[in-house]
Amino acid sequence: MTPRLIQLPPPHPGRRTGRMAVLAALWVAGLVGLAPPALAQSKSDAFAGKIPPVSNELYRKAGRLEASLSGNLSVNDPFYSKYFAGLKLGYHFTDSLSAGALLASGFNTKAGSAQVCPTNSGCHSASRTQMYQVPGNIRMMAGVEGAWAPIYGKLNVFSERVAHFDLSLIAGVDWIQYQKVISRVEAENLAASGGHPGLTSSLGWHAGVGTRLFLSEWIAARLEFRPYWYFVNVPNLQEGGGSKRDLQTQLFVELGVSFFFPMHNRSVQ
């Protein structure tokens, strides 16, 4: 039997339209099925940004004493490097306002930048006689200060822990004891006799910024940057052999640890 080729009639336009209508209905149904999650997401987005990052201070300072032990290092003196141990005792009237007293003392070493460069020879380290003629040999600092800590925050540390911290502004007045600055003739006479310049003191002041990183409810690490200003009589600055009163600036970096008493936050009144 010879096969015959049967030609099918073309699809009726109405059937094509029906199939397209079914596909369109399925597509719309899919969109409707996806609508509830999207709507839920939009509802959750409505609350984004309305919850503050720090809703309360976990570590509160109001009504507590703070005792601090610290190490202090001068960073901008071209003549003397100072290494001090410090003690500070303060009281927090509120979580942002406090007052305290501080004491720091230690030893000095000749800075590496204390070089003398004569015109007819190479540079060399300054001699003991020359070091007697320059300021910066501080022996002790004592003072009172006030602090304002307007910022309290927290940080996510490596997605493992939340670190609480505060930032503060500091200002105070000081009594500063230092080695007298003497003239070249006096320095040479003292060096020949094996003596040392005496000590004197003057009032000064300081200002700075600091931060605490709370390790627990009663222990915090502390970092402060404090420039000190005070006046020194420097004989070599005055023509004719007299002395001149010169304003000195000393920048100290302080790293310490604080202990709060009582050891737990006081209840909020």
Residue 159 has pLDDT above 70, yes or no: no
pLDDT tens, 231-269? 999 987 655 567 788 999 999 999 999 999 999 887 655
Residues above pLDDT 70, as percent of the chain: 75
What is the per-residue pLDDT for 158? 73
pLDDT tens, 188-233? 999 888 889 999 999 999 999 999 999 999 999 999 999 999 999 9
3-state secondary structure the chain: CCCCCCCCCCCCHHHHHHHHHHHHHHHHHHHHHHHHHHHHHHHHHCCCCCCCCCCCCCCCCCCCEEEEEEEEEECCCCCEEEEEEEEEEEEECCCCEEEEEEEEEEEEEECCCCEECCCCCCCEECCHHHHCCCCCCEEEEEEEEEEEEEEEEEEEECCCEEEEEEEEEEEEEEEEEEECCCCHHHHHHHHHHCCCCCEEEEEEEEEEEEEEEECCCCEEEEEEEEEEEEEEEEHHHCHHHCCEEEEEEEEEEEEEEEEEECCCCCCCC
Residue 36 has pLDDT above 60, yes or no: no
The CATH fold of domain 67-261: Porin (2.40.160)
Average pLDDT over residues 121-134: 89
Q: Where are the domains of the chain?
A: 67-261
What is the per-residue pLDDT for 56? 62
